[in-house]
Chain A
Amino acid sequence: MNKLEALKVFTAAVGKDDLVVCCNGMIGRELYTTQDRPSNFYMIGSMGLGLSIGLGLALAQPRKRIFVLDGDGNVLMGMNALASVGSERPANLVHVVLDNRSHASTGGQRTISGDVKLESVASAVGYRATHRADSVESFEASLRVALVQPGPVMVLALVDGGTVKGIGRVAETPQELASRFAAEARR
């Protein structure tokens, strides 16, 4: 499956009241192009910290479901945060990883996720459940199951590398992105 197909599956699984924290890089721009909403937070720098942000948010808003939409490069860079998630074990956190085994934003250079089973790491540090999907159908099915399991849950989807044409840039300023998201998160 390519990343846009994966994002269509992902956005269909996100409920109206759910919050999404998206990692930096192409994924954020692709999510923004697929389905922008005020309840999406787009991290545009600070690579590797999306999961830490999602964890802080999940602890602050335990009654809301928090999705962290991550990439393999981000997960590898912030792998320590998986341990924090495994230790705090927020039941309302769903960690979705689109794994293309590359750094798409910087020209497609390889990451090491082909050698490292990220969902095994998640399982080892205390996530309550993990899933690996390699097709649109299995990604849909995995998300369906994940949404009825207590978190933290990781759903890793293997996606094709390369970039998709026609992807825009986030138009809002960082301050606008944060304030509109905070208004939704605090509702």
Chain B
Amino acid sequence: MSHGSHGSGKSYAPEFVAALKEAGFDFFAGVPCSLLKGLVSLLDADPSARYISATREDSAIGMAFGAWLGGRLPMVLMQNSGLGVSVNALASLSTMYEVPALLVISWRGEGGNDAPEHIMMGEIMLPILDLMKIQHRVLRAAEPMGPQVQWAKDVMLSTRQPAALIVPAGVLE
């Protein structure tokens, strides 16, 4: 591990995937991050999830957009570097058309402790989401996952806007 793994070393990914399915999420796409390793491998190994390994994060947002129009409840996962790639897609696609998606975004560079390429994005990620008026919550280990996923789904359905769950180290690895 190039970055410190916090907590007990337990992955909450199985609980998180169960919560996603319980809430009815049925379209999954994204670009991986080491902090999301557990989540990606569970989705990828699950034939019913049909996880799409996208090439770019904005493309995954486009796919999720089309899936929502077609009646699905979509989730997109990415490293926070991908949020930079996705700003225009979120600004002129998801938020403008009022087509929601659940964004699961890892928090590289949290607290300024990470490889240099992650420090700036780690610092500006939440302000970027705030500027785009995208509601977000941070997933913490040892908190139940179900209510967090349900909160995101409620935001999506009631505001017709994307909602973000932010994933620090040691939660979904």
Contacts and interface: CB of A to CB of B under 8 A. Distances in A.
Of B60, B64, B93, most A-chain CB atoms within 10 Å: B93
**Chain A facing B: main interface SS:** helix
Contacts of A58: 66
Q: Is the interface of B mostly helix, strand, loop or mixed?
A: helix
A53 B63 contact: yes
Interface residues of B, number: 33
Interface stretch (B39-47, B49-57, B117-125): B49-57
A76 to B, nearest CB: 14
A51 B52 CA distance: 15
B89 A46 contact: yes
A185 B59 contact: no
A84 B71 contact: no
Interface stretch (A99-107, A127-135, A157-165, A171-179): A171-179
A59 B27 CA distance: 9
Given A56-B27, A56-B65, A84 B93 contact: no
A178 B99 contact: yes
B74 A56 contact: yes
B97 A49 contact: no
B85 to A, nearest CB: 11
A175 B52 CA distance: 27
A55 B97 contact: no
A59 B67 contact: yes
B66 A60 contact: yes
Greatest chain A CB density within 10 A among B53, B66, B74, B93 is at B66
5 contacts: A45-B96, A49-B58, A53-B69, A56-B65, A83-B55
Interface of B: 27, 29, 50, 52-56, 58-72, 74, 88-89, 91-93, 96-99
